[in-house]
Amino acid sequence: MSNSHIAPRFVANSDCVLTVASRVAARYAEALDLITRKPPLDLPGFELCAIWHQRHERDPEHAWLREQLVAVTRA
């Protein structure tokens, strides 16, 4: 579990503020009774990337997993 998924749980029990991707915020807002707001300034986007060893490049299972990751991040 990445920090972007641990942090909302921490914020829910504190007086802290958190900046995360809108999809992460939406996912946790209702479940943790959090309030979401757009930031008062434009924030730069970010890029996600995956890396793997070259020996897995032609592995069908690994290729399937990479395809699933691409599909999920585009949803």
Which residue type does 40 have? P
pTM for this entry: 0.56
CA-CA-CA-CA dihedral for 48, 39, 33, 73, to nearest 10: -20
pLDDT band at 4 (very low <50, low <70, confident <90, very high): low
The overall average pLDDT reported for the chain is: 88
What is the per-residue pLDDT for 63? 95
Query: How many domains, in total, are found in the chain?
Result: 1
Q: What band does 57 get if pLDDT is binned at 50, 70 and 90?
A: very high
What residues make up the domain containing 62? Answer: 3-39+46-74
Tell me what the mean pLDDT of segment 59-70 comes to: 94
pLDDT at 44 over 70: yes
Q: What is the DSSP letter of 40?
A: S
Q: What is the DSSP letter of 55?
A: G
| Over residues 38-58, mean pLDDT | 89
